Amino acid sequence: MELKNNQVTIVSLDAIIVDLPTIRAHQLAMATMLNQTLVILRLRCSDGIEGVGEATTIGGLAYGEQSPESTKLALDRYIAPLIIGMPVDSVNAVMARVAKSVQGNALAKSALETALLDAQGKRLGVPVHALLGGAVRTSLPVLWTLASGDSGRDIAEAEEMLEMRRHNVFKLKIGKRDPRADVAHVAAIKAALGDRAQLTVDVNQAWSEATAAVFIPQLVDAGVMLIEQPVARDNRRAMARLTSRFDIPIMADEGVQDADEAFDYAADQAADIIALKIGKSGGPLGVLRTATVADAAGIGCYGGTLLEGAIGSIASAHAFAACRKLEWGTELFGPLLVKDDVVVERPTIRNFELPVPVLPGLGLTLDEDKLAYYRRDC
């Protein structure tokens, strides 16, 4: 590739694995998390500007097909040699070269795309959402997941969040226990919180269609407002039947990874809502493509999380701020689930919402001491 005079290029990529302890055990249908592992990507440019990105998944390989270790390998061995020396002024050109030679690996691609956008935003003096077409909202409502598995503890945690005015919508992770126990757990929490809070549930693909058909009505009776991914991600026909059968909104999460799968779900009328995640879609630009498909099909959008730290969560916030429609809110609580992070200033939620950053790039600065302390060399 012929470079123009003084054209800024990519000099290096550095993928760093960090392990952060969580504030409590976080129980999902497929794993119980006591810490969260992030892959922090540092992209250095020939003009001295550095962009940062993050790739994060849940529970190693318990949740999906990509792990932190495989993501670092993809970035170090396969992606870096493709793009070092390329101009940085076109994020699309860099990502197109990667897409041509690297199949899958959406998490690694998301970290790269985020870092490129962060660097370009810093270079131009604008926030990332300005590079995505501009924000249509200045703050994002954020729910909190109650996932200790203990009803009393979850109720106390929710009460604390309400008192702090941090969260007034709560997601309950179910599917690990007998469905009757899960329904009783949900009903107890809703009874305690009453109309002061709304509840959603995430089954994390744990039920069969028959089990979902029996217990979704009981969750409705308990006061739940939304059911997330009740059956396996590849059982789109079951999702379609459940969506058609029940009035309560059914949300697809693991079933919709990108714009192509969003199209398939839309064609089969297999969800009322789609959970958007930059890690699934390969980056902030990928999320906007997925959201556009959902919007065109009349499917609602929700800002999801892979429990990213501050970098991944704020990158998601920029993308979600630029989505035309996001009527179901977000769950960008990942930075609050970990005891510490690798940025100087961690995101804060006030009056139930996360302010959309306005500083150049992502608006974050790495804390070098914490990065060194939590990094895992492997």
Task: Cite the active site residues.
Answer: 173, 331
Taking the C-alpha atoms of residue 54 and residue 308, their distance in angstroms, rounded to an integer, is 8
User: Measuring CA to CA, which residue among 323, 319, 295, 285 is closest to residue 305?
Assistant: 319
**Residue found under tokens 């510490």:** 340
Q: Are the C-beta atoms of residues 254 and 286 closer than 8 Å to each other?
A: no
Beta-strand relationship, 139-141 and 353-355? antiparallel
User: Do the beta carbons of residue 2 and residue 361 sit within 8 Å?
Assistant: no
Cross-strand pairs, 51:
43
Q: Which amino acid is at 46?
A: S
